[in-house]
Amino acid sequence: MKLLSTFVDVNLKKQTMKLSPTEEELMNHLWRLKRAFMKDLLEAYPEPKPASTTISTLLKRMQEKEFVAYKTFGNSREYYPLETKESYFAKHINGLIKNFFNDSPAQFASFFTKKTQLSDEELIEIKASIDNLLNKK
């Protein structure tokens, strides 16, 4: 029974893992580049660039959280994301809906359309997307 409990705890922990803002910034570079060596990641940052030790530390934490992996080439590591940007973002949106909108996508959509400053054109685009999804069912 303890083994099952540990398995559940580990899986729940993995599902709720989030990236810090600095990890998200690095992850955005990695999503854009798809695969990258340390030098590529450093080049992706604007000036003043972070220290390579900072990037190394972030990558190590992101590996522990199972967001990033690497392949070794000699003394170099080529990093790549283990989760897509779309999947990561969807988890955040679903968490937001659950925690702030009583697990109601309709409440979220209502809030989003009323409280953001969407143009008529953007609202028409959203409506068209919804209509497309409804027509596919």
Question: Coil, helix or strand for 136?
Answer: helix
In contact, 62 and 23? CB cutoff 8 Å:
yes
**pLDDT tens digits, residue range 67-119?**
999 999 999 999 999 999 999 999 989 888 899 889 888 888 888 888 888 88
| CA–CA separation, 69 and 105 (whole Å) | 33
Q: Are residues 66 and 101 in the same domain?
A: no
Total-model pTM: 0.73
Shortest CA distance to 77 belongs to which of 63, 65, 90? 63
Tokens representing 110 are 């209502």
Q: Which domain holds residue 31?
A: 2-81
Q: Say if residue 64 is in the same domain as residue 76.
A: yes
Task: Tell me: do 19 and 72 sit in the same domain.
Answer: yes
- Choosing from 81, 103, 122, the residue where a domain stops is 81
CA–CA distance, 30 with 49 (Å, rounded to integer): 16
According to the model, what pLDDT value does residue 16 have?
58
Interaxial angle between packed helices 85-100 and 21-33, expressed in degrees from 0 to 180 and rounded to the nearest 10: 140
Residue 12 confidence (pLDDT) above 50: no
96 and 109 both lie in a single domain? yes
Q: What is the mean pLDDT of residues 40-61?
A: 96
Tokens in use for 50? 């972070």
